[in-house]
Amino acid sequence: MIQLQSEAAHYQGVKTLHDIDLHIKQGEKLALLGKSGSGKSTLLKLIYERYPNNTALVPQDYGLVKHLSVYHNVFMGRLDQHTTWFNLINLIRPWKDQVSAVQLILSRLQLKDQLFQPVGKLSGGQQQRVAIARSLFQQGQLLLADEPVSSIDKEQSKLVLSQLRNSFPTMILAMHDTQLALDFCDRIIGLKKGKILFDQPSSSLTANELQTLFK
């Protein structure tokens, strides 16, 4: 499904990825691990630019519009599936069926009370879940998520990750928490200074081993 061969990427003139060889098959759940600056985000961006069709992206800064309601932010996941008129009217007067569809997703993420709150009024963790809700509403063959649970507590992280796992056939998550990565992904890729350090099934790794790998 995804084929990258000796790829490199630059960010603001500095080479941030080197010699990336990566083959990802349909159905794989993959975690990218590595310190900040190791190239996780750049790799996700690179994959998104190569395979934008039918791909949901949860960027690190969420890409939310703070002055719009939670409902509208989630709805934005499907803007390209409707006519412009449909979208514009929806801004002024939300469509009932869309509201109930969004509400369904929000209740899965414990956000249903916030439906018509402006996103700017939510806490950081709630905002992150709105970004997740948008990707769930959008659907697709592939999910690319950059630290999707960085602001959420452990219990809710598990809930969110299992929702994502069930909703997307293939997913690539940039992760910080090694244990969560091992629990919810089948394949772990370690990045260091823009290069792939290791690429192994999670069954062959433990959290302790991973910690030492990045020392």
**Sheet order of strands, 187-192 included:** 55-58, 142-146, 170-174, 29-33, 187-192, 195-201
**Distance in angstroms (rounded) separating the CA atoms of residues 204 and 64:** 37
- Using CB under 8 A, pick the residue from 79, 124, 201, 206 that binds other proteins: 79
Tell the smallest beta-carbon distance from residue 86 to other proteins (Å).
10
Q: Binding to other proteins by residue 57, rule CB under 8 A?
A: yes
**Distance in angstroms (rounded) separating the CA atoms of residues 16 and 23:** 20
Choice between 1 and 91, CB closer to other proteins = 91
Choice between 173 and 210, CB closer to other proteins = 173
- Using CB under 8 A, pick the residue from 6, 13, 61, 155 that binds other proteins: 61
Number of residues that bind other proteins (CB under 8 A): 32
Place of tokens 């939510």: 122
Conformational region of residue 135, where left means phi above 0, alpha means psi within -120 to 50, and beta covers everything else: alpha
Conformational region of residue 67, where left means phi above 0, alpha means psi within -120 to 50, and beta covers everything else: alpha
Q: Binding to other proteins by residue 124, rule CB under 8 A?
A: no
Tell the smallest beta-carbon distance from residue 201 to other proteins (Å).
29
- Using CB under 8 A, pick the residue from 3, 21, 23, 113 that binds other proteins: 113
Q: Binding to other proteins by residue 94, rule CB under 8 A?
A: yes
